[in-house]
Amino acid sequence: MKPLALRGALIGTALMALPLAASAEGAAEVDPNALRVCASTKDAPYSDRDGSGFENRIAAVLAEETGMTLDLVMIDKDAIYLVRDGVDENLCDVLVGVDAGDERLLTSDPYYKTGYALVSRQDRNFDGDTWQSVDQEGFNTFAMRYHTPAETILKYTGRYEYNMIYHASLSNFEDRRNKYTQIPASLVVSEVSAGNADLGIIFAPEAARYVRDSREPLKMTLITNGIERADGVVIPLQYEQAVGIAKSRPELVEPINKALVSGKDKIDAILKEEGIPTMPLS
């Protein structure tokens, strides 16, 4: 679950079709032949100001496969604001990479499934693929991002309070009251690589690029179970990802679903190049 939570021949082909990103201010006039996709300038590795995010590249594939022109509307805010300040303001019609069934939007058929993962240095010989497996001797300091199930995992394993000051240090002790404060995904991984954290708990797509590019060999293991709360409610740790579509544009659902089928090989190549571990769709 993401916070809303340029390589290879096929990827290169898609990028050649990627136009210069439009600013939010310049998106007032709507071209019926344009695929208007909102993206954040502050959401690496999903999206970045220079269009190098893997979801920016998937957007280019969707435009190519639908025969539309990609209008990439870059919003200079965190991704959690894209629905409110992008779709709801009619700056765009599409968001790439939302949880399937997101009630704020219409959603396409899911195109991949992934989940939260445990990131460790290979030389630490960490073993385990459940959230309970973080409770091991010698693993005490955990890097994570705020507002994610990682916080629940640490609370349920009795590690949250021990790590509170450490987590605050990763955000430079920025005040979290009445504002959105977040720890960069790249920092979560680099803390594990440097040995400052024993383990990282993070949504796999956020970490994959940095695990792949780390000079220190790292291991990323998908968590295989969910968190059952005391009241019996299960917090899932695996999510199907889909394309979000404005409720005002239902006519886009069918062509985008068709584009996900016709462009599947290209999209799969992007995910593979990014290093994102996936699991079978339901």
Within-domain flag for 4:
no
Clarify whether residues 252 and 209 are in a common domain.
Answer: no
Clarify whether residues 106 and 206 are in a common domain.
Answer: no
Clarify whether residues 147 and 184 are in a common domain.
Answer: yes
pTM: 0.88
Residue 144: φ, ψ to 5°: -160, 175
Within-domain flag for 1:
no
Closest among 4, 112, 24 to 61, alpha carbons compared: 112
Within-domain flag for 139:
yes
Task: List pLDDT tens digits, range 128-155.
Answer: 999 999 999 999 999 999 999 999 999 9
Clarify whether residues 195 and 160 are in a common domain.
Answer: yes
Clarify whether residues 268 and 231 are in a common domain.
Answer: no
Q: Is the dihedral of CA 132, 204, 115, 125 positive or negative?
A: negative
Domain residues for the domain of 104 are 9-112+240-274
Distance separating alpha carbons of residues 29 and 90, to the nearest angstrom: 10
117 three-class SS = strand
Clarify whether residues 13 and 93 are in a common domain.
Answer: yes
Task: Flag whether pLDDT at 5 surpasses 90.
Answer: no
Amino acid identity, position 204: A
Distance separating alpha carbons of residues 10 and 16, to the nearest angstrom: 10
Clarify whether residues 128 and 227 are in a common domain.
Answer: yes
Q: How many domains does the chain have?
A: 2
Task: List pLDDT tens digits, range 61-93.
Answer: 999 999 999 999 999 999 999 999 999 999 999
Within-domain flag for 282:
no
Cα–Cα distances in Å, from 100 out to 114, 134, 139, 282? 12, 28, 34, 11
Within-domain flag for 130:
yes
Task: Specify whether the CB–CB gap between 73 and 47 falls below 8 A.
Answer: no
Within-domain flag for 92:
yes
Task: Specify the higher pLDDT residue, 229 or 168.
Answer: 168
Within-domain flag for 270:
yes
Clarify whether residues 130 and 95 are in a common domain.
Answer: no
Q: How deeply is 35 buried, as exposed, middle or buried, from its count of CB atoms within 10 A (0-12, 13-18, 19+)?
A: buried
57 three-class SS = helix
Task: Specify whether the CB–CB gap between 68 and 60 falls below 8 A.
Answer: no
Residue 168: φ, ψ to 5°: -60, -35
Closest among 38, 88, 28 to 59, alpha carbons compared: 38
Clarify whether residues 13 and 61 are in a common domain.
Answer: yes
148 three-class SS = coil
Within-domain flag for 3:
no
Task: Specify whether the CB–CB gap between 133 and 189 falls below 8 A.
Answer: no
Looking at residue 176, what is its pLDDT?
Answer: 79
What CATH number did the domain enclosing 270 receive? 3.40.190.10
Q: How far is CA 16 from the centre of its chain?
A: 23
Clarify whether residues 158 and 168 are in a common domain.
Answer: yes
Clarify whether residues 28 and 74 are in a common domain.
Answer: yes
Clarify whether residues 128 and 228 are in a common domain.
Answer: yes
